Amino acid sequence: MSLQLLFAVVILLAATIPTIHGEDDLRNNNNNYDNGNYALTSSTHKSLLIAAGCFWCAEQAYEQYAPGVIEVVSGYAGSDGIESPTYRNHPGHYEVILIEYDPNSTSYELLLQYAWRNLDPFDQYGQFCDRGFSYQSALFYANEEEMLIAEQVRSEVLDLHPDWDNESVVVPLLERPFFWRAEGYHQDYYIKNPWNYEYYKERCGRTKRLKEVWGEEQYNCYHDLELSCFNKTAVNEDGVSIEAVVNVKNAPEESGKVRGAPVWGIIVAVVFAVGVLCLLVVGFMTPSCKKKLSIEEGKDESVVEKEAADLP
C-alpha cells in the first residue's frame, strides 16, 4: 500500500469518528453531553434528558413552568434502541424530552426536582394511561457529577416522604444515551393543538394522579407561572439565587376546563354511527326484500299453475 493511499484511509477514518455515538462518545464529547441530532442554541447552554411518560405533557410542563428553560424537544432515547427511531417504530426507546437550559438561570439539580413532580414514581409499567416500555419513567445523567446529583435528589425526595417504601419507587437513574429528535408534528403539540392536547391530558388522568401522589399543594408549587412557592426565584448552578424566568414561549395557561371530544373525534364518531346505522338498515331490509321476493315468486307460480289447469 502506497503512503498516499494509507494517508487517505487514515483521514477517512478520522472523519467518521465524530459520527459514531455510544458510550465512548457520551464520555468524550463537549461537556459530556450527547445532544444527538439536536443542536443547542448557545454554546453556554446545557441540556438534560428525562423520560416522564407522554412527551407532549412533559414538554409542556418544562417549557411553561420550569425556570431557566430555553427549549424542550420531544424525542426518543434508549441504550438498546434501534437506529433512526420513529413514532411508529421505536423499540428499545423511551419517549423522552431534551431540555435545553441556561445554567446561569437554573441548574440540573433544580430541573430534576421538577422531573420528580411530573411523574408517578410507583408505576413500573408506564405512566398514567399510557402503558409499555416507551412510556416508563427514567432520569438520565451524563457524567459522574450528574449521577451524584441525581442520587442526592432521589434521597431528598424520599426524605420528604418517609411513608414511601424505597423499593416501591421504581424510577431508574441511567447513563444518558443518544437522543433522537421526534417528528415535527410532535414538537410544541400543546401549543399547536391545545384542544386535542388538553382533552388527551385530562382523559389520561395525568394531573389527577400527580396530585394524588405529590399532594395538591406540592403539585401547584411546581405548576405555577408565578413561582409563588419559591418567591419567584431560582438557584442557578453557581448556587446564586436569581429572579426566575418561566414560559419563554409565552404559551397560554391551561384552561383547567374538562374538554369535550376534539373535532376529529366527533367526526369519527359521527361517521362510525352513520356506518352502523346503514348496516342496521341494510340488515333489516334484506330479509324483508327476500320475503317479498319469495311471496311474489309464489304468486307467479300459483298463476302459472292455474293457467295450466284451465288449458283444454
The CA-CA-CA angle for residues 213, 217, 218, to 5°, reads: 55
d(CA 2, CA 181): 43
For 60, the grid coordinates are: 409542556
For 91, phi then psi, to 5°, come to -60, 140
d(CA 219, CA 217): 5
How far apart are the two ends of the chain, measured CA to CA in Å?
114
For 205, the grid coordinates are: 388522568
Catalytic residue status for 229:
no
Coil/strand/helix, residue 137: strand
Convert 95-131 to b/e letters by CB count within 10 Å (16 or more is b).
bbbbbbbbeebbbbbbbbebbbbbbbbebeebbbebe
d(CA 164, CA 175): 25
For 123, the grid coordinates are: 408505576
Burial of 170 (0-12, 13-18, 19+ CB in 10 A): middle
For 311, the grid coordinates are: 288449458
Long-range contacts of 204-211 (CB under 8 A, 24+ apart): 204/54, 204/57, 204/128, 204/129, 204/130, 205/128, 205/129, 206/53, 206/54, 206/57, 206/127, 206/128, 206/129, 209/120, 209/128, 210/117, 210/118, 210/120
Q: Which active-site residues does the annotation give?
A: 54
